[in-house]
Amino acid sequence: FGRVVQCRTGHGFTGEYYRSHVPTEPDDCPCGAPFQTRRHILQDCPRYEPTRHILRAASAQIDLPTILGTEDGINALAEFIEQSGAFTKTG
């Protein structure tokens, strides 16, 4: 559940967080994208495409306010994080 809270608040293992709070850490994505954001991870990063269907079940377009702010979205986010390993130091 901790990673869900980190994702919802923007205080997780992402380039977006590192750029603001830990500038010594790289802020690019391991997929090659120049800047890793929550939006990139949830909607675009090819590393997470195999599990993105979990998010689409709650929001076909993976609308961030829906995913991050509704009960169905948060439940889908929790499952997505568990299955994909997203929002971890190595994920």
Taking only the tens of pLDDT, the chain with its 91 residues reads 799 999 999 998 999 999 999 999 999 999 999 999 999 999 999 999 999 999 999 999 999 999 999 999 999 999 999 999 999 988 7
The domain spans of the chain are 2-84
Read off the pTM: 0.92
Residue partners of 29: CB distance under 8 A and separation at least 6: 15, 35, 36, 40, 41, 45, 47
Tell me, what's the pLDDT at 77? Answer: 98
Report the chain's C-alpha Rg in angstroms.
12
* 35/14 Cα distance (integer angstroms): 9
CB atoms within 10 A of CB 65: 9
Tell me, what's the pLDDT at 24? Answer: 96
Q: Could you tell me the two tokens for 39?
A: 């939006």
